Every structure is written in structure tokens, then in C-alpha cells.
Structure 1
């Protein structure tokens, strides 16, 4: 019930919308209840008494009641629809805003498909709950209470027999609500699993086709889809059973009216008009009784979905700005790692061991080592994507954990190995970190990254939309735009994680020339597998198995004759035939 109360707490900011909806609802119920009594008046006092004026008055009253009911139904429906949409907007806004604050460690363990399902299908279930239940609950209970009172006033014996099914209905409702919550939670969980598989296959469509794994992946998706169908059908079976029980109990009441009510008319205890009104009033209870099944299903599904949404909202960010955080906007870029060790939270296995080095402002630091040696993990500690397990990372002599997180990251430019562009224009992608940048600044950054020439050749130049994840561009083009994006921020610390891995040797040399000029005055960390691109670094750190095994300049490391020197010799030998062919 705590989940349900938390869901209901979202009504508070919209209480006037809720009240206006309830006013329209109650008035429409009153208009609806007036119709059977007007029919009774027309039959007993108009038709039976042969009084045309009464018949005409009843007909006019019926028309007015119908019009009033229609207008009030519109007001009621719009109010509750607006209520549901406002709450869905607020939930999605909170969810997205909270996801933006969560630490990288959360996303390392979460599945994108599951998160998408919670932001879409689960929020939709809660939206449907607010559209259906608050309105239907009051309408159904109000109708049942009002009709019951009117029936007892007309003939208490007939009313008591007709409504004797209500306790049985209550028992069925309690049993179904307990069963339904568990079933719908299973459905929502499996929907998230299915969405994850679908998302992975859409994102990796080229890989799937390249390895001719279409049939295998189709079978994997179909298995999850079948599981979802099985769970949904099981929930639907119980829902249909409950609806059938409710409908049967409602029909039993009608049978009683025909049988016992007919005897009362024959005995002179009830007029034909009263029996007709009684029948119509009892018919009005059928819809609220049937709606109980819908309400119970909707509530159970909303509780299951709310539980999944609140699981995300209750996740606390592991990394955040401290109280009295220091503004990082004026940092110079001196970076120090002091006895740093790090383990990823989900595995607990150490990725870095006792890392120590000092970088002066404006220096260029190269990180070299085999895949999995810890290079990307090391640079991820500088903008606090993760916090160290042991030791300290300092910028300008201050622990990075003391800085305001937003201002710290705004002063660190980053080009990741996996380049991500958004489905907007080239201009907007370059200006992503500085939306207020001028046209001249955007073009200057693009020229510096050797991107301007190919951008102006695009169909709409800088206004060309690059497509989802930059799908319309080559790998090298995407990386050059990402470099321009980082350079436009004018960061004090620049991190290039395999920033030229997807460009050819000629473009690589052009970018390196531009970077040599633009890295002046910025502390730069360069990660690359090509030893030839690291020669001009002020300091080269060679990592292996999470440890610094060599450090020094290019010449010093060659003289050392270790891992760096061996890789340099191997790569130089591999490039020799290429240079000969070019000559």
C-alpha cells in the first residue's frame, strides 16, 4: 500500500483539477439518476393517467437531463484526462532529471531497455490509473450508494434481495487484487527484458548482419516475446475471470427484479412505473460493478509499475557536489594522482593500483598500454565519472571531490573512444557544450579539428542533421566533430581517448598538427594505441594490468627498452612498407 499512497501523492499539485472533475462527475451522476424517476413519472402519472401535459413535461425534462449529462461528461472526462497527462509529464520529467544525476556506476549495471520501459510503459500504466481510477471509483461508489438508497426507498425487500450479491463481489475483488498485483509486476518486468533485447538488436543491427546472426537473434527476441505473451495471457485470464464473475453477479440482480418485482406488482405493492424505474436504476449499477474489475486491474498494474519507477527514483547518486563546493571555473589545470587505486563498484576487482604522478598546467600527458590496462579508467577519475577507492585526485592542489561537479566538468573537454553524436544539426552537435557559441567560434573549432571542409560539402552544411548517433557520417567525420565539440568548450583539461582511432593516417597527421597548436595552455591527456602519435608528449605513462610500469619522455622510454620501446619498434616496422609504397 505504501507504493499506492506514493502514487496518489502526485495528485497534490493538481487538487483543483481533481475537485473540478469531481464536481462535474457528481452533477452528471445526479442527471443520470434523474432519468429513471422521470420515466416513472411519465408512465405512472402521464401514460396511466392519460395526462399529455405530464408526458410532455417529462420528455422535456429528459432532454434537458440528457444535454446536461453530456456537457458534464465532457467536463469530467477532460479534467481527469488533463490530470493524468500532467502527472505522467511530471513523472517522466522527474525520472529523466534523476537519471541525469545518477552516477556512471548505476548505468554500468542498468539495462537501457529496462530504463526505457520504465520511462514509457510503466509511466503509461500510472497515467491510465489516474485517468480511470479516481474518476471511476467516485462515480461507481456514488452511483451504487445513491441507487441503493433510492431502491430501498422504493421497495426495501426487493432492494435487499437484488443487492445481496455485493458481499460476494467484495470477496472476489479482494482476492483478484492480491493476485493481479503479482501478475502485472511480472508482465512489466518481462516487458523491460523484451525491450532490452529489442534495443540491443536495433543498435547492433550491422553487427548482427555482419556475422549472419539474424536467425539466432530473432530466436532470442522471440523467446522473450513469447515469455511476455505467456505472462500477459495469464494476467488476462485472471482479469477475464474476474470480469465474468462480476457480470454474472450483476445479471443475478436483474433476474431477481424480474421474478420478485413481478410478484410485487401482481400483489399491488409496486406500480408498473416503479418496477420500470427500479429496473433502470438497477441497470445503472451494472456499469459500476463491471468497472470495479477495470479499476482493480488498473490499480494493480499501476502499483507494479510504480514500484519499478520508484526503484529508479530512490537510487541515490554516489557522486555529487559537496556542501560549500568550490567553483572550478578558474582552474589552471595542474593535475595530480596521489596513491590512487580504483575498483569498479559492481565487480569489486581492482582496475588501478597505487597510481601517482604530477602534471603541470599546459603539459601533454600520453597514456599508453594494451587494451584493459586501465587507461580510460584513469582519465575517467579526473571529471569524477567515478570516485577513487583509495588515494586522491587533485586539480590545482585541491581534491576533485571538493569542487562543484557541474563547473568541474565544464572545464574538462572530453573526446571518448565511442563517439556519440545527437540527432540534430552539425552546428548543434559542435555547440553542445556551449550553446551560446557564435557562428564564427563554431567554424573556428571545426577548422581546428579538420572538420570544416567536409562539413561544407554536406547537403545543408552546418545545418545538416546527422541522424541518430551520427549514422549518416563516417567514423572519422564523427570523431572530428567530437573533437571540435570539445575544443569549443575551451577546457583547461583536455582528454582525448583514442580520439583519432577512426581516421586515416593523413587525417590523423592533420589533426595532430591542429591539436599541437590548440593544446597550448591546456593540460592534455592523450590515449592512443599508435606509439607514433605520442612522441611529442611531455610525459608518457605506460600502463599494464592497472599499474604504471614505465614513465618518461619518448626518448627516455626508447632508451629504457621496455614495453613502449618494443611496441614502437613493431609499429615502426609495420609502417615502413606503407611509407615505401607511398614514396
Structure 2
């Protein structure tokens, strides 16, 4: 990629090769218009009766719009041209009533259509969010969170705008077009033929434009998603960006993706902007031809002045729906591209959970691995863990030790059933894990991660997240057991203090104490702990260790050990190396063997 110097810095020069490389990152299926529209129509099913009423109002308003010019023509021929004013006032009154009713029907159809569209979008948005909760962890591993957020917001908003405005306009335009053509044929087949001269030009012009805009609007949606994904990653990882002084590189990457969006957006809007210009030109040409031909026919007494007035109005009403249809076509294209991206997520297979039995089973906490082998990618030659077998009795603590990449975290992920094993079996209380519903397993399993995550809600609600029906007394007890009560009471509003995103106003150690309190209030049978006491002051570390000991008491615990103190208090130690379990046993047994674990202690690697 090349950069050119600008007055305020450097700007990337995007080539076709750069765009092709960027486009390869996003895999899109070919547009299925009928399929997408059919699925949107199914979402409207609950309000189909109201939609039919709206469509009937559109028919009425289209008929009234056609009736108005006809009344004007009759007034000119029957009253004004003959200087008869006796009935003119009545005709004016009728015309006013027609346009009042036209306004009322248009208001009602727009009002009800907004309600229909918002209910439809509500169902679409809720369906997407609901499905996101059912997708496996592997789905989120492979996608940028910002790109997913773009589908949840930008793409659905495009569909919303189209349903709000374009649906009625398209249907009304078609009715107006058909009705106007029929009336014009009745008035003057010759003038109708002259009006229709512009239709082939409109068709080929629209075809030339929309063939380009359909592709460009899809690329624009892709570019928005990619840019949002990059922005979300950068903001979430801002500390890392600053720690490694990567601001310039992130700016360059942002400039590339922003430039891609600018280019696709520029050409999409440029081509779509041709539509009103072309349509206005053709409208004016049509009006000129009709006026000229009508004048000639009137000169030879073939038509009346009133008929010419009626016809010129209908000629404008004929070209206006064509113009509206052409303009709305781009909006519909953008909405279909957005809806297709939303349905692509909804069509992703959810986590399979065929276990129907054991829904109310109370876990004891006996855990057994039998020759478990797992690969994150099925095509990987080397498995992440291979032929791992062990047994941990209920209430015991097992420490996982080993170098980075040895497979410790993978064992935790499999215990939480975030991933399915490729080979072997995991048994919980002698029940194969796939025979336990995920909800049953996870509701009785708690996590204390190395980097605890807090939500933007009160301290009380963050703790209660481990058990949503926990009482205030249970929350308070859990906080005290976790050694968190003291610092919570020092916060501005105590337990009702609202934490910002990820608890930015409290320390890492305090976050960890809240995470332990959250696990305590859940009262789980199995604990998965990634002990996080590094980079924490000594006093807080002691509080965390004390809280962890209370949390682990009487529960089956798996601990990724980073501290010798934790390992010494574990009932079992599992030594992982290159995805294999190379040693296991109690602390005393492994020290007597003087194997790998003994060597790790001797070299102070724990």
C-alpha cells in the first residue's frame, strides 16, 4: 500500500488490488431477493390484517389522487371555458373534499405502517439477539465483535427505514402507474403513446445505474461492518495499543478501512444520485412532448383544453411513480443487503443440546476425562490436547500447571462445554457431558477468570449476575465472604454504585474480589479458576487468596496455578506439556518422583 503526503499528514492510496484483498476477508453469498423478502414477510405475519388495511388505504389514496386532476379538467371544460360559474363552487367543494380525504388516508396509512414496520424490526432484532445467545463460542472466536454489532444496528436500521417509507411508496407508485396509464389510454391513445416514448430510455438508464449500485451498496455494508469491527477492537484494546506505541499503525489501518468505505460510499451515492437527474430530464422531455402534441391536437379540435390539462397532470403522475420506483430501488437494494447479512447470522447453527434428561440433576462434582483429544480447528494436524485422562473426586482441588500453550485453558473450556471434544469422553458424576443439558451444567459451574469482566450496572447487580434470583442478604453475605464488602462500602453509593464499562473506576484486585463474590452467590458444584494475583499489591493478594480458599471449600475446583501457594494446597496436580498430561498425583507423590513437576519447582517456574 502506498501513502501520499497531505497538509495534515499522510493519506493512503487505495488500489484495486487493496480492495480485492480486503474483500476476501468477508465471504458473502449471492443475493436471494425472493428468499429475503419472503422471510421479512413472515415476520409481518402477526400484523397481516393491519397491513391489508394499509394496502386498501393505499388503493383509496391512489384513486383519489387520480380523481383530483380529472375534476380539474371537468371544471375547465364544463365551467371555466364556457364562463358558467353556477356549479363551479360545488365542483371546488368536491375537489377540496377529495384532497382532504386523500390527506387523511395518507396520514393513516403512514401512521399504521410505521407501527407495523417497528413491530417487524423489533421481532427481527430480538430474533437476531436471541440467536446470538445460542451460538457456540467458536462462532465469536472467528468474527470481529464490531462487525457483529454493525449487523445488529446498521443493517437492521436499513431494513427499518425501508419498511417505514419505501413499502408504501413502492406499492402506491405501482398502483398510480397502472391507474394513470389506464385513464390516459381512455382520454387519448395518441398522447399516451407519446408519453410512453420515454419508458425504454428510463428502463435502460435505470438498468445501467442499478447494476452498479446493487454491487456498491453491498460493498458499502461490508465496509461499514469491517470498519466498526476495527474500531471496536481498537477501543477495547486501547491499553495494549498505547503500551506498544502502535497508534500510528492503528491510524494507518483505520485510514485504509475508512478510505475503502469512503470510496464505496462515494460511488454508491454518485451512481444512485444519477437517478433523480436522469428522471427529471426524461420527465421534462415527456412533458414537453405531451404539451406540444396536445397543443397541435387542440388547434385541430381533436382534444379540449381541459383534456390537455388532465393529460399533462396524468403525464406527470405517470413519470413521478417511475421516478419514485427508481429512487426507492436503491433503498430496497441496501435494505436487502442488510437483511441478508442479518439472516446469515440467524442461519448459523446454534449450539446443539439434545439432552432432554438430567435437567434437574444436582451435580456432585466428580469429573473424569477418558482419553480426551481436542482440536480447535478440525484441520489442525497437531491436537491442542491429546489422550488426556484423569479423575477428580467431588470436593477436591486440582491444579493445572505447565508452560503457556500446554493445554491448561483448553481443559477449562472443555469443562465449561464451550467446545465439544473430538475424541474421548468427559464424565460428570459418571454421566457423559453430552447427556447433561448445557444449562444444567453451566448453572452449577462458576468461573473466576484472570481478567474479570464487569457489566455497566450496580455493584449489587454485578454480584447477583451469578444468581439472578439471589436476595440482597445473599449478595451481602457473598461480598463479605469474598472480602469485598469493605471496599464496596467506601464507594460513593455502596452496593448501589453504578460501575462504568468493565469497572474502570476500581482496581484490578477489587474487580477480582467482585468476581469471586459473583461465584460465591452462585453456590456452584464445580469451580474453574484462572488465579489472577499477578500485578496486584500484597494486601489485596492476601484478600484474594483468603476469598478463594472460602470459595473452593467443599467444591470441585480446577485451578490454573500461577502461585506455588495454590499448588501446595491442591489435592491433585496435573502437569501439562504440549497438550499431554505428563504427570499427575498429589504434591508429595510428584515430589518423590522427582520428575517434571519437581524440576519446575526447583527452577521456580511456579
With normalisation by structure 2, the TM-score equals: 0.90
Partner residue in 2 for 1:578 = none
Task: Quote the offset at 1:79 in angstroms.
Answer: 2.0
**Cα distance between partner residues in 2 of 1:68 and 1:209:** 64
Partner residue in 2 for 1:458 = 491
Task: Quote the offset at 1:502 in angstroms.
Answer: 5.4
Q: Deviations over 1:232-270 (max 9, x none)?
A: 122223212344333332222101111101111111122
How has the CA–CA distance of structure 1 residues 210 and 379 changed in structure 2, closer, same or farther, with 3 Å as cutoff? closer
How has the CA–CA distance of structure 1 residues 548 and 504 changed in structure 2, closer, same or farther, with 3 Å as cutoff? farther
Q: Deviations over 1:549-575 (max 9, x none)?
A: 222222333333344334434549x9x
How has the CA–CA distance of structure 1 residues 559 and 377 changed in structure 2, closer, same or farther, with 3 Å as cutoff? same
Q: Deviations over 1:188-221 (max 9, x none)?
A: 1111111111111111223223333323312211
Q: Deviations over 1:124-180 (max 9, x none)?
A: 222223223331222001111111111122212111211232244334444544433
Give the 5 Å matches for 1:534-545. 534-545=567-578
Q: Deviations over 1:435-466 (max 9, x none)?
A: 11111100111111111111111111111111
Structure 2 residue runs of 5 or longer lacking an equivalent are 1-32
Task: Quote the offset at 1:311 in angstroms.
Answer: 1.7
Residue 590 of structure 2 is aligned to residue 557 of structure 1: yes
Task: Quote the offset at 1:433 in angstroms.
Answer: 2.6
- Cα RMSD after superposing both structures: 2.0
Are the counterparts in 2 of residues 328 and 411 from structure 1 also a CA contact under 8 Å? no
Task: Quote the offset at 1:468 in angstroms.
Answer: 0.9
Partner residue in 1 for 2:136 = 103
Partner residue in 1 for 2:550 = 517
Task: Say which of 341, 359, 375 aligns to 2:373.
Answer: 341
Are the counterparts in 2 of residues 342 and 351 from structure 1 also a CA contact under 8 Å? yes
Partner residue in 2 for 1:12 = 45
**Cα distance between partner residues in 2 of 1:405 and 1:271:** 80
**Cα distance between partner residues in 2 of 1:459 and 1:384:** 39
Give the 5 Å matches for 1:124-203. 124-203=157-236
Name whichever of 333-342 and 20-29 sits farther off.
20-29
Residue 383 of structure 2 is aligned to residue 353 of structure 1: no
**Cα distance between partner residues in 2 of 1:426 and 1:361:** 31
Secondary structure at the aligned position of 1:69 is classed as helix
**Cα distance between partner residues in 2 of 1:428 and 1:11:** 36
Are the counterparts in 1 of residues 58 and 172 from structure 2 also a CA contact under 8 Å? yes
Partner residue in 1 for 2:453 = 420
Partner residue in 2 for 1:488 = 521
**Cα distance between partner residues in 2 of 1:223 and 1:519:** 50
Give the 5 Å matches for 1:434-473. 434-473=467-506
How has the CA–CA distance of structure 1 residues 443 and 503 changed in structure 2, closer, same or farther, with 3 Å as cutoff? farther
Task: Quote the offset at 1:499 in angstroms.
Answer: 4.2
Give the 5 Å matches for 1:63-102. 63-102=96-135
Structure 1 residue runs of 5 or longer lacking an equivalent are 575-583
Task: Say which of 362, 365, 368 aligns to 1:330.
Answer: 362
Partner residue in 1 for 2:538 = 505
With normalisation by structure 1, the TM-score equals: 0.93
Residue 266 of structure 2 is aligned to residue 233 of structure 1: yes
Name whichever of 447-456 and 164-173 sits farther off.
164-173
Q: Deviations over 1:19-40 (max 9, x none)?
A: 1221222222222222212222
Secondary structure at the aligned position of 2:196 is classed as helix
Name whichever of 359-368 and 71-80 sits farther off.
71-80
Are the counterparts in 2 of residues 341 and 391 from structure 1 also a CA contact under 8 Å? yes
**Cα distance between partner residues in 2 of 1:363 and 1:270:** 101
Name whichever of 263-272 and 41-50 sits farther off.
41-50
**Cα distance between partner residues in 2 of 1:57 and 1:215:** 75
**Cα distance between partner residues in 2 of 1:379 and 1:323:** 21
**Cα distance between partner residues in 1 of 2:225 and 2:249:** 20
Task: Quote the offset at 1:287 in angstroms.
Answer: 2.4
Are the counterparts in 2 of residues 419 and 478 from structure 1 also a CA contact under 8 Å? yes
**Cα distance between partner residues in 1 of 2:483 and 2:534:** 15
Name whichever of 111-120 and 36-45 sits farther off.
36-45
Name whichever of 110-119 and 297-306 sits farther off.
297-306
**Cα distance between partner residues in 1 of 2:284 and 2:219:** 33
Name whichever of 350-359 and 413-422 sits farther off.
413-422
Secondary structure at the aligned position of 1:496 is classed as strand
Give the 5 Å matches for 1:522-537. 522-537=555-570
**Cα distance between partner residues in 2 of 1:125 and 1:385:** 33
Residue 75 of structure 2 is aligned to residue 42 of structure 1: yes
**Cα distance between partner residues in 1 of 2:352 and 2:505:** 36
Are the counterparts in 1 of residues 509 and 541 from structure 2 also a CA contact under 8 Å? no
Task: Say which of 93, 104, 120 aligns to 1:60.
Answer: 93
**Cα distance between partner residues in 2 of 1:467 and 1:506:** 25
Q: Deviations over 1:339-393 (max 9, x none)?
A: 1111003763411011111111111111111222111110111121111111111
How has the CA–CA distance of structure 1 residues 446 and 499 changed in structure 2, closer, same or farther, with 3 Å as cutoff? farther
How has the CA–CA distance of structure 1 residues 68 and 80 changed in structure 2, closer, same or farther, with 3 Å as cutoff? same
Task: Say which of 276, 298, 305 aligns to 1:265.
Answer: 298
Task: Say which of 19, 25, 29 aligns to 2:58.
Answer: 25
Task: Quote the offset at 1:95 in angstroms.
Answer: 0.9
Are the counterparts in 2 of residues 363 and 538 from structure 1 also a CA contact under 8 Å? yes
